[in-house]
Amino acid sequence: MPAHEGIVGNEEADEAARAASSQEGRPTALALERVRGVEGVIRLINRYRSDNPTPFDSSGLAGQYTWKMDRALLGTHTLRLYGSLTSDQAAILIQARTGHCRLSQYLARGGLVDSALCECKQGEETIRHVILSCSQWAEERKELWVAAEGRAGDVPFLLGGWGTKKDSKGQLVDGPRDKWKPDLKVVKATIRFLEKTRRLTYRP
């Protein structure tokens, strides 16, 4: 994709393709899995390009949102994240990490619905609202809270991102960016929760 701008998932596809081609000609047991991961991301890119009008990205809000979710966006952890997921799971994670989805806030920004308010009437329907506080999903949220332990309220962490949250001593909770790895157990628990809500399930 030219310019690496304005296309959801483009950076993830680039990172996955670069990693998949860096085996120095030696086939590995993960080769097929890597190819499937790249193919899945490419399909998602094409899907979002056809489904979402360009005005959504014209303000640069999408990039700001994604940066807040993961300050290590261009790191090699991207392949680790998506390489362990099915295409359906990857679709949900990409929506949650980029904000490109069918939640009311996103649709309202493009003029596709009248209100950004969630059906629970307790706030705008955003990724953060759905994961942390929407009363409709209290029961479904229990497994996620157990998996996340003391970081249940840290949305970037739940979505596999490196954040700037600090502990009481002023140290980064996630540690140095170059040594950090996403917690795949927690990411998959978050995806299972979002699957239960069906709010990010792709419907053609």
pLDDT at 187: 94
Task: Dihedral sign for Cα 102, 107, 112, 114, please.
Answer: positive
User: For residues 92 and 9, is the Cβ–Cβ distance under 8 A?
Assistant: no
User: For residues 25 and 88, is the Cβ–Cβ distance under 8 A?
Assistant: no
pLDDT for residue 2 is more than 90:
no
End-to-end CA, the chain: 24
3-state secondary structure 65-123: HHHHHCCCCCCCHHHHHHHCCCHHHHHHHHHHHHCCCCCHHHHHHCCCCCCCECCCCCC
Higher model confidence: residue 199 or residue 163? 199
pLDDT-derived band at 23 (thresholds 50, 70, 90) equals: low
Q: What is the mean pLDDT of residues 21-28?
A: 53
User: For residues 134 and 105, is the Cβ–Cβ distance under 8 A?
Assistant: no
The pLDDT tens digits for 47-94 are 655 554 443 443 344 455 555 666 555 556 777 788 888 888 988 998
Q: What angle do CA 204, 188, 61 make, to 5 degrees?
A: 60
pLDDT at 60: 45
Q: Report the run of H or E that residue 47 belongs to, with start and end.
A: helix 31-51
The pLDDT tens digits for 138-152 are 999 999 999 998 899
**pTM higher than 0.85 for the full model?**
no
Which neighbouring-strand residues pair with 166? 172
